[in-house]
Amino acid sequence: MKNFEFYNPVRILFGKGTISKISNHLPAGVPVLFVYGGGSIKKNGVYDQVVKALGATEYYEFSGVQPNPSYEQLMPALGIIRGKNIGFILAVGGGSVIDGSKFLAAAACYKGDEPWDLLSLQPEVKEALPIGTVLTLPATGTEMNGNSVISRISVNHKLAFGSSLLMPRFSVLDPEVTYSLPKNQIANGVIDAFIHVLEQYLTYPSRAEVQDRFAESLLLILKDTGSKVFADPEPDYNDRANFMWAATNALNTSISMGVINDWSTHTIGHELTALYGFDHAVSLAIVLPGVLTLLREKRKEKLLQYGERIWGITSFDHQAAILETIKYTEQFFRCLGVNTKLSEYGIGSEAIDKVVNQLNSHGATMLGRARDVTIDDVPAILGTRL
Ligand code: NZQ
Ligand code: ZN
């Protein structure tokens, strides 16, 4: 196991009715910016619960944050933050609202002229407004990490940045708020969280047994309970609770400690989203089988471990077992209603050059932290996805 530092200061308020506790965790006497998305929270009662919980707190609203949040759409909020002397941001929504709020938290304190530089130049974040979140979509893990992914529509870029200063002060996880999720968003959440685990676990053996077994328990819960949540005609509280907590743990850094991480599937997936507007999880479901096929020899040991412990696949013929494992993984995504081939979205081989050009345009040549996927591998990876 490699050396590591573990730091996660996010306070989790988990369970039914926990939105009502928000005010206990807001700084006193500070105007709050309440950020939300396209209106789902007004239909499912979350907006009313938040307003009630805010009570007498002075607050202002910024709404309409869209999926794959964009710089262009977020920038006007900086005017409210400065004009109203906002000292705390409360993000209520899925990953897009929370990531958008993190960007605003850093942009509001950024000393340079152009806040997009936070993403394109990756300077160290020196200061940020504090944020809190009410999560409505278990998927990204952003509620318990310091990362944010923002798109700039004018140049077709989708980039990530991060800092421990962007970790929420608190995150409210009430499984009941997920009852209003449409099926495709449940599928997205299960797939995104599942692939988060794989990007950290399915690399090379590190003798990190706690992390491995923890990762495998998350994969099993996402596979079994996630499928049940997707299929159930009526929501079951405990299934929702387990799905929600699994998705949070999939990307709160616990399982990435001391092991070799990857993230090449995410890097390529972000380019597909920037080019074609895919939902984040859909882009990953397309790319991952291609990455695993490419790496089936190099990552043999972990692929065999994953296949045996998650899918019950064993064989003396290791190559056959690995191919079967990749097939089961892809089939899992398809059973959740997500197509995994570019052609199924009306996209042909022209996508390959476009993705390569996009990666080149921001100097991304080494695509994963495991250092076994480069820009030169993209044609082979996407070639299997046509
Ligand atoms: O906008 P509203 O009306 O709220 O509707 C949203 C949106 O249309 C809807 N929704 C959310 N909660 C709901 C609900 N509808 C009904 N009931 C509820 N309880 O779902 C739609 C999708 O929401 P979005 O926030 O876009 O989805 P998700 O949580 O999957 O976030 C995706 C974004 O997070 C980034 C992705 O790249 C993408 O931009 N990621 C962030 C990460 C991080 N910060 O650590 C890591 C991830 O890998 C990912 O890259
Ligand atoms: Zn993701």
For residue 20, give the DSSP letter. G
Give residue 95 CA to ligand 2 midpoint distance, Å: 9
pLDDT at 365: 95
Classify 341 as helix, strand or coil: coil
Ligand that comes closest to the CA of residue 136: 1
Pocket perturbation via mutation, ligand 1, pick of 19, 102, 137, 198 by most ligand atoms within 8 A of CB? 137
Output the pTM of the full model. 0.98
pLDDT digits (tens, 9 = 90+) for 10-41: 999 999 999 999 999 999 999 999 999 999 99
Transcribe 106-136 into DSSP letters: HHTT--SS-TTHHHHT-PPP-----EEEEE-
Give residue 305 CA to ligand 1 midpoint distance, Å: 31
For residue 13, give the DSSP letter. E
Q: How large a percentage of the chain has pLDDT more than 90?
A: 99
pLDDT digits (tens, 9 = 90+) for 201-224: 999 999 999 999 999 999 999 999
- Integer Cα distance of 38 and 182 in angstroms: 14
Transcribe 289-315 into DSSP letters: HHHHHHTTTTTHHHHHHHHHHHH----
Tokens encoding 13: 């308020």
> How confident is the prediction for the chain on average, in pLDDT?
97
Atom 18 in ligand 1: residue holding the nearest Cα? 181
- Integer Cα distance of 25 and 367 in angstroms: 39
Ligand that comes closest to the CA of residue 68: 1
pLDDT at 248: 98
Question: Which residue in this structure is represented by tokens 């797939």?
Answer: 191
Judged against a pLDDT cut of 90, whether residue 68 lies above it is answered with yes
Judged against a pLDDT cut of 90, whether residue 87 lies above it is answered with yes
As for ligand 1, residues whose beta carbon falls within 6 Å of it are 37-41, 44, 67-68, 93-97, 99, 136-137, 139-142, 145, 147-149, 177-178, 180-181, 185, 188, 192, 251, 266, 280
pLDDT digits (tens, 9 = 90+) for 226-273: 999 999 999 999 999 999 999 999 999 999 999 999 999 999 999 999
pLDDT at 165: 98
For residue 49, name the pLDDT band (cuts at 50, 70, 90).
Answer: very high
Q: How large a percentage of the chain has pLDDT more than 70?
A: 100
Helices and strands (H, E) in the chain, number of each type: 15, 8
Judged against a pLDDT cut of 90, whether residue 153 lies above it is answered with yes
Q: What's domain 11-177's architecture?
A: 3-Layer(aba) Sandwich (3.40)
pLDDT digits (tens, 9 = 90+) for 160-180: 999 999 999 999 999 999 999
Q: Where in the chain is the domain with CATH 1.20.1090.10?
A: 182-383
Atom 34 in ligand 1: residue holding the nearest Cα? 95
Q: Where in the chain is the domain with CATH 3.40.50.1970?
A: 11-177
Atom 40 in ligand 1: residue holding the nearest Cα? 140
Q: Which atom of ligand 1 is nearest to the CA of 141?
A: 45
pLDDT at 362: 87
Give residue 3 CA to ligand 1 midpoint distance, Å: 33
Average pLDDT (337-365) is 97
Atom 21 in ligand 1: residue holding the nearest Cα? 67
Atom 42 in ligand 1: residue holding the nearest Cα? 140
The residue among 135, 51, 54, 47 whose CA lies nearest residue 99 is 135
- Integer Cα distance of 375 and 339 in angstroms: 24
Of the chain, the end-to-end C-alpha distance in Å amounts to: 38
Q: Which atom of ligand 1 is nearest to the CA of 44?
A: 17
Give residue 295 CA to ligand 1 midpoint distance, Å: 30
Using alpha carbons, list the distances in angstroms from residue 331 to 75, 287, 324, 325.
40, 14, 10, 10
CATH (one of 3.90.226.10, 3.40.640.10, 1.20.1090.10, 3.40.190.170) for 182-383:
1.20.1090.10
Amino acid letter, 302: K
Judged against a pLDDT cut of 90, whether residue 298 lies above it is answered with yes
Atom 31 in ligand 1: residue holding the nearest Cα? 95
